[in-house]
């Protein structure tokens, strides 16, 4: 029988991406807060209890690294960006376009020099840290620096950058410094597992296979040729020279909003530089549908890095066929060592507060299936 490396740090053989369906009580409290019917303190109290309940469920499910479900956020990425100094929440001209619908129209604008002091996510982490059992790790998820930078390439946001910076290079430098400040504060609070969520790569892959989408998105081909390298440089500038015991992974998917998606296309066009140059420990990758393409690009992932296969969808409550998932894991192992593979959902269950279209019972059944499969494959 093959002996596999025992995982004691992230990524784990049986893992999650991060977000969970918001419970009814939390959704109702948030709606009341937005309507001015309850105070921020009352909303926070509801969030606190919902997170405590979630942690208990995560631990009962056998997860080695838990999250707060992103229960204090409306968006997987914008809430973090809004938490940086020098950036404010703003209305967008249009929401993000998904396959079947469009999101709420929100974005961010630069209102001053960007920095990372006193980010609210640090206290969010501390709360989760203080409520896990001994031996349970806490995973903190944040959007990648490249994802944050990409938000300000939206035509409507460019003027706010130009108002406060002489160039986008200067803005990017401050953004990196801000990220490093937040990460240093998280580390000081005890964070040892950080995940950089990143949809920029699926956008680039989509553009490579659907050139007509480039102009629609407001870019030009010459600009896009530089964006991939720039994304790796931004992310690595934040990852490099971090403490040796801080594990940094990344999650790359094709959009996850109310059970629909934003991009299509395999990892081939972005495997170099994403897999070859980004200095993370592991890649959490979407692989639940044909839109993700084949496993061949995994041959570009260095043998010392981990790949977490997102073979179980978070977009539907229908439970996957167990044997079919196991078969796909072994197919992926033809291109990357089985000992360096893990299993998770393809994304979170609620990348925004709306959540995907499935029940909490179905959500936990998916996690139980992943655990069962991982135990069979890796022991």
Contacts of 26 (CB under 8 A, 6+ apart): 46, 47, 50, 71
The CATH number linked to 85 is 3.20.20.210
What region, left, alpha or beta, does residue 355 occupy, with left being phi > 0 and alpha being psi -120 to 50 degrees? left
Q: Cα separation of 243 and 129, whole Å?
A: 19
Is 151 within a domain? yes
Is 192 within a domain? yes
- Confidence (pLDDT) at 97: 82
Q: What six digits make up the tokens of 291?
A: 């839109």
Q: What six digits make up the tokens of 207?
A: 């553009």
- The answer to whether the CB of 306 falls within 8 A of the CB of 275 is no
Written as tens digits, the pLDDT of the chain (379 aa) is 588 999 999 999 999 999 999 999 999 999 999 999 999 999 999 999 999 999 999 999 999 999 999 999 999 999 999 999 999 999 998 888 888 889 999 999 999 999 999 999 999 999 999 999 999 999 999 999 999 999 999 989 999 999 999 999 999 999 999 999 999 999 999 999 999 999 999 989 888 877 776 666 666 666 766 889 999 999 999 999 999 999 999 999 999 999 998 899 999 999 999 999 999 999 999 999 999 999 999 999 999 999 999 999 999 999 999 999 999 999 999 999 999 999 999 999 999 999 999 999 999 999 999 999 999 999 9
- Confidence (pLDDT) at 137: 98
Q: Cis check for the bond before 11: say yes or no (omega within 30 of 0).
A: yes
Is 8 within a domain? no
Is 17 within a domain? no
Question: Within a 13 Å sphere around the CA of 122, how many CA atoms are in the beta-carbon half?
Answer: 17
Range of the structural domain that residue 248 is part of = 24-378
- The answer to whether the CB of 312 falls within 8 A of the CB of 284 is no
- Confidence (pLDDT) at 217: 64
Is 303 within a domain? yes
- How many domains does one find in the chain? 1
Is 101 within a domain? yes
Q: What six digits make up the tokens of 39?
A: 């105070």
- Confidence (pLDDT) at 2: 80
Is 30 within a domain? yes
Strands 65-66 and 137-143: parallel
State pTM to two decimals.
0.96
Is 276 within a domain? yes
């Amino acid at each position: 029988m093959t002996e596999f490396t025992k995982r004691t740090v992230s990524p784990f053989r049986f893992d999650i991406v991060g977000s969970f369906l918001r419970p009814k009580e939390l959704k109702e409290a948030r709606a009341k807060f937005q309507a001015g019917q309850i105070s921020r303190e009352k909303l926070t109290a509801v969030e606190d209890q919902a997170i405590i309940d979630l942690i208990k469920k995560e631990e009962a499910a056998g997860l080695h690294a838990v999250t707060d479900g992103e229960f204090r956020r409306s968006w997987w990425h914008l809430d973090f960006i809004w938490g940086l100094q020098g950036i404010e929440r703003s209305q967008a001209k249009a929401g993000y376009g998904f396959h079947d619908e469009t999101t709420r129209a929100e974005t961010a604008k630069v209102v001053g020099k960007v920095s990372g002091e006193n980010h609210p996510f640090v206290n969010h982490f501390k709360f989760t840290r203080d409520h896990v059992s001994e031996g349970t790790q806490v995973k903190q998820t944040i959007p990648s620096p490249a994802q944050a930078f990409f938000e300000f390439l939206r035509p409507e946001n460019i003027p706010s950058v130009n108002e406060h910076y002489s160039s986008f290079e200067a803005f990017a430098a401050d953004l990196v410094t801000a990220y490093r400040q937040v990460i240093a504060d998280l580390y000081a609070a005890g964070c040892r597992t950080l995940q950089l969520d990143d949809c920029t790569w699926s956008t680039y892959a989509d553009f490579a296979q659907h050139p007509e989408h480039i102009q629609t998105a407001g870019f030009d081909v010459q600009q896009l040729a530089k964006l991939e390298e720039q994304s790796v440089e931004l992310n690595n500038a934040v990852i490099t020279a971090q403490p040796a015991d801080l594990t940094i992974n990344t999650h790359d998917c094709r959009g996850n909003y109310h059970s629909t998606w934003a991009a299509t296309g395999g990892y081939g066009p972005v495997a170099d530089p994403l897999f070859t140059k980004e200095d993370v420990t592991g890649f959490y990758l979407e692989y639940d549908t044909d839109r993700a393409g084949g496993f061949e690009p995994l041959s570009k992932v260095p043998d010392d890095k981990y790949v977490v296969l997102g073979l179980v969808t978070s977009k539907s409550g229908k439970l996957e066929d167990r044997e079919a998932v196991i078969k796909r894991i072994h197919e992926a192992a033809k291109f990357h060592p089985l000992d360096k593979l893990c299993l998770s959902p393809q994304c979170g269950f609620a990348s925004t507060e709306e959540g995907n279209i499935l029940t909490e019972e179905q959500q936990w059944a998916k996690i139980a299936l992943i655990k069962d499969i991982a135990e069979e494959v890796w022991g």
